[in-house]
Structure 1
Amino acid sequence: MQHKYLPLIIAAAFSAISVSAQASGYRFGSQSVSGQGTADANGAEAADASTIFYNPAGLSRLDGTQISAGATVVVPHSTFSDAGSTHFTGQPAGGTAAKDYAPDSVTAPSLYVSKKLNDQWAVGLGLFVPYGAKLNYGDTWTGRYALSNIKLEAINLNPSVSWKLNEHHAFGFGIDAEYMKAELAQAVDVPGSVAALSSGPGAAQGALLIKQIAALGGNPALLRAVNDGHASNDGKDWGWGFNLGYMFTLDQNTRFGLAYRSSISHQLKGSTVWDFSKVTTDPIVNQVLQAASHKVNSAALVALRTPETLSANVFHQFDSKWAGMADVTFTRNNRMGDLDIQFPGTTEGAEVIRQQWKNTVRVSLGGNYAYNENLTLRAGVAYDESPVKNAELTHPALPDSDRMQYSVGANWKLSPRSSIDLAYSFLDFKDAKINYTNNCNPLMTTCTGNGETTRGTYKTHLSLLGFAYNYKF
């Protein structure tokens, strides 16, 4: 007999590469506090060293040596209402309501340094958080067979260079070194498996299981009230990519930008640990159940490519006080189809996570108002599509949906060389319905899966608070 339980949703955690932060999928949208103030419409502004992320060609506009160090605090609020989540047998999953699964806050840092070498060349270095997620539903909630907790962290080191051809044309290039790490966990549906083997086609296998327990001195009666097992996983990897930028300066007041950030290939390697020690109070029963399930601690492997992005943006200075800007960013999410989670060195069939993400577009508009010589005010609005197609392809690791972003910000000059940036954003998500069923169940031998169905609705909004310090040498 082989019981196949759903492994860690490692693919879902790594798949797109918060609750997600600002941009759709797992992409952490705020890599710059000055950019956050305009809802990231500032790709062609190149106001500080954070242009390394938005468009490295903008380095050509910066004088001397500049440093911008910032942090964005994400304050999420999310609720989940269950609408009939079930075991693979069709019986209610039971469990507790999802509560306080989003963290009180998450902080993501950023650091950018630029240096102008001469009239044509400039270099820079960026350090930022491209992706992030942190959710902890607990081990007893109704969707525990899909996911109990997830923590995804990524850091990108982005050395860049720009070359200014003349007063109108500038080009930029950067290399992306990306480190990704995740910790995930989920429940193992032992109660559903035992119930399925108590009658019908599985009764013979259930009887054999009872004989094995009795022969080893265990108490088969405990099978009437078994608890969930538990599985946990961690994985990490370095990946490499690049980004390109072009900036066309029409005149002193108007410029246009194009920026491309490549996909990054990851071979995520880690380990999977299965824990049946609390299924019953009898260690013998627990050992027999784990042996029958063929679940052994092992390595885990997922191959994936993060989506690439292409952005077009414009900046115009209307007069000495007012400036406007806009950005359109296309993200190629359709690289993320169904994902296979492999368990090297075991007989476990792969876990297939159905995603089939769609390509998305993000549109943002922003503006600056120079209140006086020392204070510039910012504001912006953006609409961001979710890559998730429908409720049947929505997973608890990413309860994503289309959202609106409303941002305000300010830059305050402390001295001719230093300034601070402040920003606040509110993100309003559409209700996200989930009706996800894993197509494999514990009695199948060719694949791995709990076969659970998670049904319900997520209601989410986020607040983002940003602070950065800038200095010019």
Structure 2
Amino acid sequence: MQPKYLTLIIAAALGAVSVGAQASGYRFGSQSISGQGTADANGAEAADASTIFYNPAGLSRLDGTQISVGTTVVMPHSSYNDTGSTRFTGTPTGGTAANDYVPTAVAAPSLYLSKKLDDQWTAGFGLYVPYGAKLDYGNDWNGRYALSNIKLEAITLNPSVAWKLNEHHAFGFGIDAEFMKAELGQAVDVPGSVAALSSGAGAAQGAALIRQIAALGGNPALLRTARDGHGSNDGKDWGWGFNLGYMFTLDENTRFGLAYRSSISHKLRGSTVWDFSQVTSDPIVNKVLQTASRKQNSAALVSLRTPETLSANVFHQFNSKWAGMADVTFTRNNRLGNLDIEFPGTTEGAEVIRQQWKNTVRVSLGANYAYSENLTLRGGIAHDQSPVKSAELTHPALPDSDRMQYSIGANWKLSPRSSIDLAYSFLDFKDARINYSNQCNPLATACTGNGETTRGVYQTHLSLLGLSYNYKF
């Protein structure tokens, strides 16, 4: 039985490529409560210090010292219907249905600060969660050979500065320091491997395995009762990038913005731990199976570059009550083909994650309505494309699809210096079909993989609830 490794770091690798508030994939959902209220159409509005994320040139419009502190709670709902997942041998994976694999709620903070230095310069600092994921399918579900659980966390520190050339032109620049951390697990298809070695081309190798177990005092008969092993992994890394912004103010009511966020290079480093202790009731059999599989605890490495984004946006104040805004964001995902996951210090071939993401466009429209002097109402709608090309390139770590976002929000002034923002969004995803096959089976020698095919349909929607507090010094 040849080695088969966990698709370690796949979550971080896939998740990292969806950086950006306008990107799909593993986008967390909101980096600004005021922006969320307009479905993130507010890139040219620059209403508060969260403009650091959308367009740092917008800092030039902020007076004094301002702070915005917020929290977004994501409440996901997702169901999965398996339509015939199989082992590499072509037999059904069996197992149980995936239930309750998404958390009830996940929260993420955001913090933005701005300070006007003089008539031309404004400095700022942002802290936000660009993306994240948490799925726990359990160790017995139909697609366990592809993934059993994933937890992906990321945070970005974004110091920024804006320079106002004159009343019409402003420029912004920021540094992005990005930290990502991933944990994930995957079942090991020991039963499928034993079955493949019991007859045909694998019979000789299977017979040698039986003799080895017997020679060590183990019970070879227990091979017929073999259960899955399990592998777990964690990985983390810091990466660096930058973002640029330009804002053109046509007049007091109209302005246009352009914003660019660079790609970020990551070398995700982690470790893998294997557990064969529950494969059978005989420790000798378990040890022989693990040795034959060449499953050794080891380091892991995957190198990747996140895609850059380019946004164009506009804001117009129609009258004292109404303002409209729009944003179009292009995300260059096609730099990311297959991901090769390496195992330094071992002789194992790389795990190849077939991905081949496509470029995406997100379009959003939003509006503000000044209900009163102290209360402004917001609303927005957006269409967001998925970077995943097809069911054959959809993995259980990212059952993504095109989605619509519907948002409402409000800003309530508590005093001339302070206010709170509230926002609610509903994201409705198209059904995501999955028919993903790992193209390297456990008996292969030049690569690693389970060889499984995961087939099914995901149905998903999300609710986002945001609250922030803003203060002007």
Shorter-chain TM-score range: over 0.9
Query: CA–CA distance in 1 between the matches of 2:338 and 2:5?
Result: 15
Q: Give 1:9 deviation, angstroms.
A: 4.0
1:288-307 paired onto structure 2 within 5 Å: 288-307=288-307
The corresponding residue for 2:458 is: 458
Aligned to 1:407: 407
- Amino acid aligned to 2:240: W
CA contact (8 A) 1:44 1:257 kept: yes
Aligned to 1:136: 136
Counterparts of 1:117-136 in structure 2, within 5 Å, are 117-136=117-136
TM-score, structure 2 as length reference: 0.98
- The 8 Å contact of residues 29 and 464 in structure 2, kept in 1 or not, is answered as no
Deviations 1:171-230 (A, max 9, x none): 000000011100010000000000000000000000000000000000000000100000
Q: Which runs of 4+ in 1 moved over 6 A?
A: none
Deviation at residue 12 of structure 1 after TM alignment: 4.2
Q: Is the 8 A contact 1:255 1:315 kept in 2?
A: yes
What amino acid sits opposite 2:87 in the alignment?
H
Matched, 1:62 2:62: yes
- 3-state SS of 1:222 partner: helix
Alignment of 1:51-450 (within 5 A): 51-450=51-450
Distance 2:27 2:242 in 1: 17
* TM-score normalised by L of structure 1: 0.98
Letter of the structure 2 residue corresponding to residue 13 of structure 1: A
Separation of aligned partners in 1, 2:28 and 2:364: 16
Shift of 1:16: 4.2
Verify: 1:38 aligned to 2:38, yes or no.
yes
Residue 11 of structure 1 corresponds to: 10
Q: Distance in 2 between matches of 1:85 and 1:274?
A: 24
Letter of the aligned partner of 1:396 in structure 2?
A: P
1:279 Cα shift? Answer: 0.3
User: What is the SS of the residue equivalent to 2:194?
Assistant: helix
Tell me if structure 2 keeps the 8 A contact 1:11–1:340. no
- TM-aligned CA distance change 1:291 to 1:265, over 3 Å: same
AA aligned opposite 1:136: D
Partner Cα separation in structure 2 for residue 256 and residue 290 of structure 1: 61
Flag the 1:425–1:22 CA change in 2: closer, same or farther, 3 A.
Answer: farther
SS in 2 for 1:15: helix
The amino acid across from 2:388 in the alignment is V
Q: Secondary structure at the match of 1:89?
A: coil
SS state at 2:334 partner: helix
- Give the Cα separation in 2 of the matches to 1:355 and 1:401: 14
**Matched residue type, 1:118:** D
Tell me how far apart the structure 1 counterparts of residues 147 and 202 of structure 2 sit (CA, whole Å).
27
- Contact 2:11–2:150 (Cα < 8 Å) also in 1: no
The residue identity in structure 1 corresponding to 2:74 is V
Question: How far apart are residue 6 of structure 1 and its match?
Answer: 3.8
Amino acid across the alignment from 1:346: T
Letter in 2 for 1:448: T
Cα shift at 1:410: 0.1
What's the secondary structure of 1:333's corresponding residue? coil
> Structure 1 CA distance, aligned partners of 2:385 and 2:441?
32
SS in 2 for 1:210: helix
- The gaps in structure 1 that reach 5 residues or longer are none
* Percent sequence identity over aligned pairs: 83
Question: What is the aligned-residue RMSD (CA, Å)?
Answer: 1.2
Q: Is the 8 Å Cα contact of residues 155 and 180 (structure 1) preserved in structure 2?
A: yes
User: What is the identity, as a one-letter code, of the residue corresponding to 2:6?
Assistant: P
C-alpha displacement of 1:23: 4.3
Structure 1 counterpart of 2:472, one-letter code? K
Matched position secondary structure for 1:192 = helix
Q: What code does the residue aligned with 1:340 have? A: D
Gaps of 5+ in 2: none
User: Whole-Å Cα distance in 1 between the matches of residues 463 and 336 of structure 2?
Assistant: 28
Structure 2 SS opposite 1:288: helix
Amino acid at match of 1:436: Y
Do the aligned partners of 2:7 and 2:449 also contact (CA within 8 Å) in 1?
no
Aligned residues between the structures: 471
**Shift of the alpha carbon at 1:128?**
0.4
